[in-house]
Amino acid sequence: MTLDGTNFQAEVLNSKGLTLVDFWAVWCGPCQVLGPIIEAIAEEIKDTVTVGKLNVDENPELAAQYGVMSIPTVILFKDGQPVEQVVGVRAKQDYLELIEKHAG
């Protein structure tokens, strides 16, 4: 799902359960590496976790609000609150473990 200033409140902040948000930009090489990993995760866990991508160039105010200083940054929200943040590219399993840790 593509997130921006118009739907972030409804899709992330007002949602129940877990939402994984990938803060990225088109020009960011590591973001391009992470993209397929995030898409694979989204497909794998689509029934339990919402996954979205937020372009920081198009939404600088949201990036600043969550302290995103470098990208890619992935933030896991639980019931609308940020619970964990990962900067840089990690293995798919690392993100799945992060989700599992907060799923309980």
Instruction: List residues with catalytic annotation.
Output: 28, 31
Report how far Cα 69 is from the mean position of its chain's Cα atoms.
14
| Crossing angle of the two packed helices 92-103 and 29-44, in degrees rounded to 10 | 50
Cβ-count burial 37-50 (b if 16+ within 10 Å, e if not): bbeebbeebeeebb
Residue indicated by tokens 């840089």: 88
